[in-house]
Every structure is written in C-alpha cells, then in structure tokens.
Structure 1
C-alpha cells in the first residue's frame, strides 16, 4: 500500500474579505522590532506545501518561481496554484509583502519559491516531497519550510533532508498536531522529528503550550500556532490553528536572522551557526523541553543578532513575560 504525506492537520477558525493589520503571531516573535535592520531581502524560502494563490495582492510580488510535483492540473510542472488554502496561508506568514493593506509576514522582503508537493486534497506522495526538496536544493534555496508530515520514517526522505542541510540549507518543519498535552507521551511525525530539521511546536497567543502540539525530545523551538491570521485563497484572509502555522513563523525568523547575521559577521554563516543564532533568540516559557525545546522564538533577545548570548538576560526577559 502506497504511503502518503499530508498537510499537518489544522483548524480553520474564520475567513475575512478585508483586513489591515500586523498579525499577532508576527508581533509575538518580535519581528517588527528588527525590521529597521532587515526584512529578509535576498533570502529565498522554498515553501513545500499545497502551492500558493499567486495572484493574492499580499503575495504576488514575493513569489520568485515555483514548480508543481503533484497530480493537480494534469501534473503540469508550471502550474503551482493552491486549491487548498494551506500553502497560501503558510506563505503569507513567512513573507506577505508590506503594502499597507492586508497582512504582513515575518520577513516581508524575502522571496518565496513555491514548491507544490501536496495536491488540492492536502495529500502528497513521498516521491513528490523528495523531488521537491531536491528542486529546492537545485534552486539554491536558503530555507526550506515544510508544514507537512506523515507517520512513516522513509529513508529517502531523510536522505534528501540531509542533502539539503549539507548544502547549508535550513530545513524547518512543523512538529505535528497529534499531541495530548502530556509531555510524558511522545507523538512522532516525519520529517518533523528528524534531528537535522528545526522542529517547531505550537503555543497560543498568550504564550501557553497548545494542547495539540506534539511532544518529543527533538522539538527545537515553539512559535504561535493558534488563531493565526494570514493570507488565504481568492485574495482573502483567514485564521488557522496548528503547528503548520508555527513553522512558517520560524522560517521567516530565520530569513531575518540570516540576512543580518551575515552582514554582521561579514561572511555567510553555516547551517549549524545559523541554527545557533536562532536558539540564542528564544525565551523559556516554563514547559517541558519535550513540549517547547529551547523556548519561544523571540527575535530581540539579545538586542543585536551578532551578540554573545547572555543567559541572565534571557532569564530576565522570560520572567517579565
């Protein structure tokens, strides 16, 4: 029986025709506080998902290319439109453009490479995912964002991710929504529990751990994942919940970190160095490491991206939250 990967299950809260605000999740990770330093310009984020509404006013200027690997549109590789909504929502959280209308993403000047590996039903073959990862490598993506998963540990998928990391590409994955709120139990979804990826769990907008977020010892960080406002189909906006919504916050954060850190160090940082820069920008929330890893992404800790990590400052900020 052929196995499939699916979008990490998510919940649609509401749709909106018009909106004009900075989403609360973007604010919670402190992205606006560093936009005077960087907005992610020059960074290419490959979004492996259900495609994208390429005509959405908040996204059309951010899309720099794409490819369809699914059976939608008779497998035409040049049509990577989203018929599901999931990929459009994820893309907006990463890089919705700053146009003084709609929403704005974490890294509003980053480029989006739309890699459609899930079809209109939100389902995809492992073969599609693996081809999508290799395509992102060929296109020299800086970051691969995957809000998808399945129960099977497929060696070829793992090898593709390892190949990306070897090329200094950061791979960010949703942890999964099979959690039960109990850190004594483990819930595994692949690729989110591979050691090589940045595995992202979910918190709510009050910084509480989401009941649905998977727990295991490979969780790296948490980010907002409940009631997240972003772009949606047909030029609309929607609030969705799930670790699918948490992962793109981190993908966008890494786009900001990479641009600024490379400037400060005056050289390209390696994947392990960029991962370390991310972990330095977290605050603990008091949950088990199996639920929150190193804590919530918080981009202003420390207040400059090239600084030496100060544990006392981190604790002080965490206590103030």
Structure 2
C-alpha cells in the first residue's frame, strides 16, 4: 500500500533507567512517561524508505510473563517499553545486527520494526493544488454547503433527533495521526491533553495537517463557522505517531494505540497503515478492544484487494470510502475485512491555522479512506452520546445495521455493511425502529 501523508498535545516527563548488565550497560526508556519511539532526526530517513520497509538495527519484542528486560538485553542495546511496563512490548535498538530473537529465553516473540505511512490521498477535483488536496480561498465562510457527506448520510436529521432526545453524554475520540492544531477555532474547545509517541513536540502542532483534517471530520464544533463534524459534542485527543512528512514506525503506532487503549478515549480513529502484519499491532488493538474501545481504521487507497495493517488486524473496524454518487471510491481498497464505508471523496474539513503540509490554512478538501474513517469514528461517538451504556461492539452493530445498503445486497467486500446513515444510527441507539 502506498502511504504518503499526516498528532500531540502533552507528553509526560521522561523517565530513564539503566538496565543492569554484566558487560556494556543498556538503556531503558518507558513509554508512556517516555520520550520518543522514533529518533526525531530520522524523520527524513523514514520518508525515503518504502512503506513497510524494515528499519535496520531495530526490533520489536514481547517479553515472556515475569521476564525482565535487564535479563534479556546486556549488550548495550537501547530499550524502550511500549505502552508501559505491563504490556511486555519493547522496542530494541542496536548498532549490531539483530535477527530473530526466539532463542532468547526471556522473549516470547520478536519482529523487525518497520516504516508506516499515511495513505496517498487522491482526488477527482480539477482544482487540485497538491496531490489529493484542494484549497479553499475563504476559510471562514459558512462551508457546510460544501459538506456533501452530511447530506448523503442524513446527518442534519440525525443531529436533530439526538438534540430532541435531550441525551448528550460526554464521549472522547482519540485521533491517532500526525497531531491536531489545538488552536483551531473549530476544534480548540474540544481538545484534551494527548500523547506524542513520535517525538518531543510538547506544543502539539500538526505540521503535516492530516491529523487536523481528520479531527474536523470527526468532531468539528457546530458553531456557525467553518465545518461541522459528525459528532456534536465529543472531545478530541491527539495521539501523534507520525512525523511532519507523514512517516513513522510500527513501534510508534503500537505505542500510540496502547496509550489510547488505556486513556479515557471511547473511540480510536486511525487513518494510516502499512503492508505487513505485526504482532505488536495485534497486541495493541487487542488491548483497545479488551478495554471497550471502538477502533476505526482506514482500508487504504490503492484501489485493490491488498490488505493494510492495522485495518486487517483482528478487532479493527475497517472503513472504505464512497463518493457523492454513493459509489465506491475508485481508490478505496476492498476485501473480506471491510466492515463499513463512509463518504471519502472531496471531504471538506479543517486545516491547521498555520502553514503546514496542506496548500491552504484553516479549511480545505482531501479525498481518501483517511477521510471516511473519522466520519465513522464521529458517528460512533454521536451514537454513544445518546446512549452511553452501549459497548463498543454494540455501537459497531448499530452502525452496520443502520447503514444504507449499497452494491450487492447485504454485506459485500467493497461497501462492507453499507454507507453510514446518521439518522438511522441515532434511531437505533435510542431504541427506535428504522425503515
């Protein structure tokens, strides 16, 4: 899968400890309460590597129960705990060649750390300023008329029913991406402290822009300016796992998911992926599911049946993209793991209020399964807000049962259960019948 494009608000104080060794001392860093999983200087290195490429000198390992890193590594390796010491997941870096570590009696499994990237966004717009991106000249105009996705999804009617119900519980969405512009007028009132698994950017700026765009689709404030998100009153947490060029590592993504799995987030939205399976991603998503998080993940933009991860990971709620004619987007990947689809072509949303990787500031349009995924996450948050007793698996079933069936009757590999329908989803969440 060709991944190219696109979070962070707060990072805990760094904690470092030495791992006892007979010989050269190894260093141990804990995340969260850690610094970076990726060396910030290596951002350009990742951008030059292919998506899924093995990063030399880096391995992700899983310790056996009760095993200690200090016993496993004694040759000067740099060891980072992913998601805290209780996960048993470690990122190990060494100047010496590292291969499969299964012979180490302390290690359950090991795998190479790999590059992971944003999908290459695409668009049919003749006004495309940059590959997959369309700029908007008047960012503070009322842009709702440009949000065709809400018309197709019956969002206005759904929001009205939700408001009429008088139910509006607090729900939180974690955007696992490139960061969020926490000062954006359409987002700032919703931003909660987040986590930076990529570097040391404590300001939380999204220099790429992709994460801010996804955040707006999920939860832009209904405030009569700019755009409206699918959720009406959800909070947003930035979990930054990708750098300014939209590149990162499997280790950083796993650390971000693990952090979100332990956070107050109810929904996790990920518009990224790599072509290789990963036990680290499997473990991270499994913990999120165990902790009752709905994990929405983009299918990818290669327009074929290749599988991206974590979209193909067990437990993920994988999302395809549709266009304004309710056809499957030409770029949307498909397959048996597709759960549902949502609008993903020329999607108007927030851009950072400063110069970023986007061709404009404040607002603009992008196409991709990246845009469909936060739409599903936002609707999931809206559903939970009107019925907070719902579990993640219940919300998934509501979204699927309420979707408009497109393509072949019933589930199919292109649309999944169908294109999301906001009104129908709210009705089912409130115990009402749908046609």
Shorter chain as denominator, the TM-score bin is 0.7 to 0.9
2:248 matched to 1:124? yes
Deviations 1:228-280 (A, max 9, x none): 00000225111100000000110001001112233xxxxx2222222111111
Partners of 2:285 and 2:385 lie apart in 1 by 22
Matches within 5 A, 1:124-163: 124-163=248-287
Structure 1 unaligned spans of 5+: 181-185, 263-267, 314-321
Partners of 2:210 and 2:265 lie apart in 1 by 21
Q: Is the 8 A contact 2:169 2:386 kept in 1?
A: no
Cα offset for 1:41?
A: 4.7
2:336 matched to 1:217? yes
Partners of 1:91 and 1:230 lie apart in 2 by 8
Structure 2 unaligned spans of 5+: 1-53, 56-113, 123-131, 354-360
2:211 matched to 1:91? no
Greater relative contact order (CA < 8 Å, ≥ 6 in sequence) = 1
TM-score w.r.t. the length of structure 2 is: 0.65
Partners of 1:151 and 1:295 lie apart in 2 by 25
Provide the aligned length of Structure 1 versus Structure 2: 297
Q: Corresponding residue for 2:117?
A: 6
Cα offset for 1:7?
A: 1.1
- Equivalent in 401, 423, 427 of residue 280 of structure 1: 401
2:277 matched to 1:166? no
Find the residue that maps to 2:257 and give its secondary structure. Answer: helix
Higher helix share: 1
TM-score w.r.t. the length of structure 1 is: 0.88
Partners of 2:226 and 2:154 lie apart in 1 by 19
Q: Is the 8 A contact 1:31 1:253 kept in 2?
A: no
Q: 1:37 to 1:300 in 2, by over 3 A?
A: closer
Deviations 1:44-68 (A, max 9, x none): 1000000011111111111112121
2:416 matched to 1:293? yes
Q: Is the 8 A contact 2:232 2:382 kept in 1?
A: no
Find the residue that maps to 1:289 and give its secondary structure. Answer: coil
- Equivalent in 372, 376, 394 of residue 250 of structure 1: 376
What's the Cα RMSD here?
Answer: 1.8
- Equivalent in 172, 177, 183 of residue 49 of structure 1: 177
Partners of 2:232 and 2:243 lie apart in 1 by 26
Partners of 1:56 and 1:270 lie apart in 2 by 31
Find the residue that maps to 1:293 and give its secondary structure. Answer: coil
